[in-house]
Every structure is written in structure tokens, then in C-alpha cells.
Amino acid sequence: MSTDSPTARTISLIGMPGAGKSTVGVLLAKLSGLAFNDTDLEIQVQAEATLQEIIDSRGHIALRTLEEEILLTIPLDHSVIATGGSVVYSDRIMQRLQQAGPVVYLDVPMATLEARVAAAPPRGIASEAGYSYADIFHERTPLYRRYADITVATAGRDPQDVALEILTRLRGSG
């Protein structure tokens, strides 16, 4: 983290699909004066396809490969980065994010996540065929916890409150 500023130059958000990384990320960017970068959107722009279309046509490994290529090359400085849920499968990406600034895990209960994902259009979740959302949750949660500098429990909380807590905690550790 930069010592010349009360907040980090780069803040990366990790967590499951439906955790609110994009929603909280936009608010956090506004509160901190940083740019906002949603890597799922960047993947879709570069691939000229939705995440679900990439998975349907090329498979989940192709999506993870694209994610890694993009996250290893995009500028990170002075940004809040909302990552895709599968980012934690790449040690190279996670090392780059950790070197850029704090990594924040948005910890959301599985029941809340399942309800959010069920209410949304297909999300393009990069996982093995036949994996349930619960399987993915249980596989990824230890990875999120391992890579997180800060974990924020978001159950029943407004995204603005979550963004404010992240900012407060970062300022307190800087």
C-alpha cells in the first residue's frame, strides 16, 4: 500500500459470483477517488462475447485463460478492481493483485449467493461441468480466504456500508 495516501493505489475485490464485487467496487471507487475496472466486462469486450457464450463455445478453461491474460496485462494502478470469481485459481494473477495493493474478500453466505445468482441471467461461472453452485462455493472459499488481506462479511448489509467499511479498514491499516 502506498504510504503517501490515506487509501491504497489499487484495491482488488474477490469473491463468489453474486458477492457484489461490481456493485461495491463502483461505490468504493467513488468514495476513494480511484478508477473502477470490472475484469469480467473487460473479458467480454476483448472476446466480443458474454462470459456464458465463452463457456458455451470454448469451455470454462478458455474463460480462465482469457481472464489470466487480461489480468496479467491490464493497468491496475489507481483502480478498484472487481475480479471474476475464478481469479483465485491463478497464482500469477493473485500475486500481481497482491503486489498492487490490498485484496478484499467479500464474504457472503451461500444461501444469499444462491438467491442472487438464481435471480440473475446466466453468469458464465467458470467451473467443471456438473459442479453445483455449492460445490464451487466450497472449492473456492478457502482460496478466497488464503489470498485476502481483508475479509468483509456482507450478510444483510447495504453495498454502501460495505464500501465504507473497506475504506475505513484500509485507512486504519495505512
pLDDT above 80 (res 120): no
Q: Residue 143 has what pLDDT?
A: 96
Q: Residue 8 has what pLDDT?
A: 65
Domain map (residue ranges) of the chain: 10-155
Q: What is the CATH number of domain 10-155?
A: 3.40.50.300
128 versus 86: which is more confidently predicted? 86
pLDDT above 70 (res 173): no
Q: What is the pTM of this model?
A: 0.90
DSSP per-residue codes, the chain: --SSSSS-SEEEEE--TTS-HHHHHHHHHHHHT-EEEEHHHHHHHHHTS-HHHHHHHH-HHHHHHHHHHHHTTS--TTEEEE--GGGGG-HHHHHHHHHHS-EEEEE--HHHHHHHHHHSS-------TT--HHHHHHHHHHHHHHH-SEEEE-TT--HHHHHHHHHHHHHHH-
